[in-house]
Structure formats: structure tokens, C-alpha cells
Amino acid sequence: MAPVSAVLTDIEGTTTPISFVKETLFPYARRALDGFLADHGHEPEVAACLSEARRQAEPGEDAPAALRRWMAEDAKVTPLKTLQGLIWRQGYLDGRLQGALYPDVAPSLRAWSRAGIGLHVYSSGSVAAQKLLFGHSAAGDLAPLFGGFFDTHVGGKREAASYATIARGLHIAPGEILFLSDVAEELDAASTAGLATCQLLRPADGTQPCERHRQAADFNAVAGLFGLPVPRAMAVE
């Protein structure tokens, strides 16, 4: 196994409780959708989302209806994810939202960053939403720790080509990148592309273990498995 020079992490179920996404972020976006479109529909970013939503909508379905349907289906559709990110941005900026992280995540990310490990995010949520969650987290502004943010614009998370694209974009050999996720199919795709993988088994999220990949209960355990730095408080213990 090559030494890890970069960590690529999923968010939901990996750094962040699934409950935060399902019970806080998604309901917030649903409640705010109509008012947000009324207030911001003329802005270029929002108008572009609406145009793409109309293009992908079912026959006879307008853009807001398509967006509401995709929200109900938890569809990984780029215009929806982008628009959710814009809605969440407003919530983070006015203080109604704050990014939730597992307690082991921020100390580990800081320790890895200090050691020169490159940190990157790959999530089905938009890049804008990723930056907001880490930039307005309960542990402070962690966004500057990350060198790259990737979303569905590079491809689906269960497609090996997406991870190959990310590795090329980072100019790092795939074998030196460690991908962290709770989802077996995402880890399978990353492994096919040559990345090292580790499945996070967060008890609160009820993750189903996959024996095809190394497993860890938290980021401290990841550090032990892959020779990454342990946060200073943990090292003292």
C-alpha cells in the first residue's frame, strides 16, 4: 500500500451524521424553495438552475414541480443539488444553519492538514453546499483546510471514471489517494480506479459493513489504519 498523500472524503455518513442532512438540510430546502425562487429567480445562478430543471423535467412538468419531485425522491440531479446549495447558503449566512460534524472529524482534518496531507471532498451535494457546511461548521471554518471540492459535475459517485478524473485533476497517483465513505458501491468504484479505500461505520447511521474494504469507526481509527497523524490530544492519551 502506497503512503497516503491525499484524503478524499465523502460527507453524509462519513464526516456528518445522515440525520443532519435528512432532518435539517433537506427539510429546510423544501420549506424555503418557493419563497427563494420568488425572491431570487431572476438571478443568473438561480435562472440557470431553473432552465436546466425545465430541460430535465417530465413532459408537462414545470421547473418548480420537477424540483419538488426530485426533492421527494432524493434524486442526485445537478440543478437540484445546485439550487439546494444556494438555498442553504442563505441559511448559513443568516445563522439559521450550522454544519454538523462528528466530533472526531475536525481534529483529524486539522492534524492531517498540518502534516501536509492534501484534503479534498467528493459529495453528491454541490461544491457550494460542501463549502458552506465546512465553512460554517460547529467546529469553526474548516473550508481553508481543503484543496479541492468535487460534486456530480465530475460524474456519479458509483462510477470508477469519476475517481480517475479527480485523481488526474489533482495530479496525484490514484494509489496515493485515500477515499473515505460509508457507501460500499462508492468505495468499489474508487477502488476500481486505483484509490485506497476505507469504509466509515458510524453506529448512529446504521452503515452496513462491506468486507471488500478496510473499515473504521471514526477518523482516529482511519489514522491508525493508514499511518496518518493522530490529533495531539489523542496522541497524549
Segments making up each domain of the chain, as ranges: 6-16+99-236, 20-93
C-alpha to C-alpha distances, 58 to 54, 110, 114, 152, nearest whole angstrom: 8, 45, 49, 21
- DSSP annotation of 128 reads H
Read off φ and ψ for residue 208, nearest 5 degrees: -85, 120
- CATH T-level topology, domain 20-93: 1.10.720
Mean pLDDT of 104-121: 98
Which CATH number is 6-16+99-236's, of 3.20.20.80, 3.40.50.720, 3.30.70.1060, 3.40.50.1000?
Answer: 3.40.50.1000
pLDDT digits (tens, 9 = 90+) for 207-220: 999 999 999 999 99
* Total Cβ atoms within 10 A of residue 54: 14
Q: How far is CA 28 from the centre of its chain?
A: 18
pLDDT at 232 > cutoff 80: no
pLDDT of residue 2: 84
Helix (H) or strand (E) holding 9: strand 6-9
Q: Would you state the pLDDT for residue 134?
A: 97
What DSSP string runs through 19-63? HHIIIIIHHHHHHHHHHHHHHHTTSHHHHHHHHHHHHHSPTT--H
**pLDDT average, residue stretch 120-138:** 93
The model's pTM is 0.84
Q: The cell 500500500 sits on which residue? A: 1
Q: 180-202 burial string, b = 16+ CB within 10 Å, else e?
A: bbbbbebbbbbbebbbbbbbbbb
pLDDT at site 233: 59
- Please say if the pLDDT value at position 236 is more than 80: no
Give the Cα-Cα-Cα angle 7, 13, 15 (nearest 5 degrees).
Answer: 45
Tens-digit pLDDT profile for residues 46-102: 999 999 999 999 999 999 999 999 999 999 899 999 999 899 999 999 999 999 999
- Give pLDDT, residue 128: 87
Locate all alpha helices (DSSP H) within the chain, ordered by sequence: 18-20, 26-40, 44-56, 63-73, 78-93, 105-114, 127-135, 160-170, 184-192, 219-226, 232-236
Helices 26-40 & 63-73, crossing angle to 10 degrees? Answer: 170
